[in-house]
Chains A and B, each alone.
Chain A
């Protein structure tokens, strides 16, 4: 069953306008929040069990509480640089419910006492950019942003920053570098952004969906939110389902929802006559699951971790038996090679080698020892770099060649070349 806490009004045409949003109770929660103590709100979000919806799954309230307890200026950054392959939930949120995000951001900014925030949107999302721009104008006009918001004495300025095509800017410190006008290269942590972030000032970076989820938490109370989902994975999550399903799209379900129910009940199953072969449960960085593992999988942080994968951004890519796993891994490796920012050697070189080796196998030029080489290179890429992109390339590589080893061996021994493959022209 879907549980629409954030996506309830997506199908209403005028919901993206401020008037339409208000008709559905919009900005009422902000009034409620401005009458509370900021610290009370932080505690509320902590108690709700909300975890970051961008990929890392770090508890949101805990992240907020890392900010220094002083009057130093601090920034709130909304991460709308949605780039994890397979993910399209934040774009939908910005296009269908921009005010929900903005209200969540104002409440969050009040909770952490920030007077300036930016929504960092990826440059390709031209529709999202114009819709959010329009929504911000409306919000300013009606006094939800600017000086003395709703006579509360709280001031907050919100602006947009448009990226220019770099996956790595979705990493929070990469985003900070980019916003500072530099190359979007991640920074070494610690110090964490909460202590030294944008322009070396305390900064909180949260994903679009995370910030929007603050609205129902403050509106309905932490207990009610925590009651949804599983004990350690509270609330609902929007999953972007694509690949070989009859009805791809965004589906909001309570965390802990079975993966097979998502595929069969909500997404209409696989195309007729096809068989499930594999599934990527959390964006291309998440290790792939075999069909057998999919049967056991539930969509929450712990269950997927127990299966050796991760919930990530909630991007489910369903793969049926008509696909070549070597081909798919090749696409994924090309992606990480292309997107590595180049500052750490294990990542810059490792992603390049993985890309090249998998391409060789795909084109019938592979050797059996290449499978060990992929494992070996991957092992040397994990935990050795400034950010997690290197791990994000190594993990799927290991999972594909381990779980679908026979398919890779077929390509090597029979010199099988996928007729579908057009990678060489890319």
Chain B
């Protein structure tokens, strides 16, 4: 059974009174659940959060399914999100993504994402919710992923 850590429960309680309405706390609380559930939000997590926040599951699903940063399927420890919008595509980001797919790294989930707002340092990608990797080359990201999956 999924359960938040005591700190996580404390966080949810605080967020529920931080904003003008309890409903506003759903986004921050979903982030917390995702962080504590290996990067994704399962139906079990939703049921748990709905009890904890005393909200209908539908109210949580409404938010969960609308926003792309919440994963409704399991992800690998390294979620690599490659920007494939115009400026990054022009600098070869789609080729990087394609090559990464061929590498078939079992610890990596790959996603094409929309503009990350760092177009002057294209191509750009983001691993999980870490600071961006900018002006990234295939060699560089390959090396990073190898290092991080072997350790």
Q: In the complex, what residues of B have CB within 8 A of residue A244's CB?
A: 90
Cα of A84 to Cα of B22 in the assembled complex, Å: 30
Q: In the complex, what residues of A have CB within 8 A of residue B126's CB?
A: 124
Q: How near does chain B come to A20, taking the closest CB pair, in angstroms?
A: 21
CB-CB contacts of A155-172 with B at 8 A, as 1s and 0s? Answer: 000010111111100000
Interface SS of chain B: helix, strand, loop or mixed? helix
Q: In the complex, what residues of A have CB within 8 A of residue B132's CB?
A: 127
Q: Does B20 contact A (CB under 8 A)?
A: yes
A181 and B24 contacting across the interface, CB-CB below 8 Å: yes
Binds A, one of B2-10, B42-50, B116-124, B139-147: B116-124
Q: Does A82 contact B (CB under 8 A)?
A: yes
Q: Contacts A183-B66, A242-B120, A280-B86 given: A425-B26 contact, CB under 8 Å?
A: no
A240 and B25 contacting across the interface, CB-CB below 8 Å: no
Q: Does A125 contact B (CB under 8 A)?
A: yes
Q: How near does chain B come to A364, taking the closest CB pair, in angstroms?
A: 18
Q: Contacts A159-B18, A181-B21, A338-B114 given: A425-B89 contact, CB under 8 Å?
A: no
CB-CB contacts of B112-139 with A at 8 A, as 1s and 0s? Answer: 1111111111100010011110000000
Cα of A126 to Cα of B115 in the assembled complex, Å: 15
Classify chain B: how many residues form its interface, as a range: 35 or more
A425 and B115 contacting across the interface, CB-CB below 8 Å: no
Binds B, one of A99-107, A295-303, A315-323: A315-323
Q: In the complex, what residues of A have CB within 8 A of residue B120's CB?
A: 88, 240-242, 248-250
Q: How near does chain B come to A80, taking the closest CB pair, in angstroms?
A: 10
Cα of A280 to Cα of B118 in the assembled complex, Å: 16
Cα of A227 to Cα of B77 in the assembled complex, Å: 54
Q: In the complex, what residues of B have CB within 8 A of residue A352's CB?
A: none
Cα of A126 to Cα of B118 in the assembled complex, Å: 13
A123 and B119 contacting across the interface, CB-CB below 8 Å: no
B116 and A124 contacting across the interface, CB-CB below 8 Å: yes
Q: Does A83 contact B (CB under 8 A)?
A: yes
Cα of A280 to Cα of B90 in the assembled complex, Å: 13
CB-CB contacts of A253-291 with B at 8 A, as 1s and 0s? Answer: 000000000000000000000000000100010000000
Interface size on A, residues (CB 8 A): 61
Q: How near does chain A come to B58, taking the closest CB pair, in angstroms?
A: 11
Q: Contacts A199-B20, A425-B98 given: A181-B117 contact, CB under 8 Å?
A: no
Q: How near does chain B come to A216, taking the closest CB pair, in angstroms?
A: 24
A83 and B115 contacting across the interface, CB-CB below 8 Å: yes
Q: Contacts A124-B116, A243-B86, A323-B90 given: A163-B18 contact, CB under 8 Å?
A: no
Cα of A250 to Cα of B121 in the assembled complex, Å: 11
Q: Which of B23, B24, B87 contacts A86 (CB 8 A)?
A: B87
B117 and A425 contacting across the interface, CB-CB below 8 Å: no
A162 and B31 contacting across the interface, CB-CB below 8 Å: yes
Q: Does A28 contact B (CB under 8 A)?
A: no
Q: Contacts A164-B31, A182-B23 given: A127-B68 contact, CB under 8 Å?
A: no
B21 and A199 contacting across the interface, CB-CB below 8 Å: yes
Q: B114 — nearest CB in chain A belongs to which residue? A: A335
Q: Does A363 contact B (CB under 8 A)?
A: no
Cα of A184 to Cα of B24 in the assembled complex, Å: 12
A124 and B117 contacting across the interface, CB-CB below 8 Å: yes
Q: Does A179 contact B (CB under 8 A)?
A: yes
Interface residues of A, Cβ cutoff 8 Å to B: 82-88, 90-91, 116, 122-127, 159, 161-167, 178-184, 198-199, 240-244, 248-250, 280, 284, 315, 317, 319, 323, 327-328, 331-332, 335, 338-339, 341, 420-423, 425-426
Q: A124-B129, A242-B119, A420-B95 are in contact. List 9 more A-B contacts (CB 8 A).
A: A123-B129, A125-B117, A159-B18, A161-B27, A164-B30, A164-B63, A180-B23, A181-B22, A244-B90
A-B contact pairs, 21 of them (CB 8 A): A85-B114, A86-B86, A88-B117, A162-B31, A163-B27, A163-B67, A164-B30, A164-B68, A164-B69, A165-B69, A165-B113, A182-B23, A183-B62, A249-B120, A317-B119, A319-B90, A331-B89, A420-B94, A425-B94, A425-B97, A426-B84
Q: Lowest 3 A-B CB distances belong to which pairs?
A: A181-B23, A242-B119, A164-B67
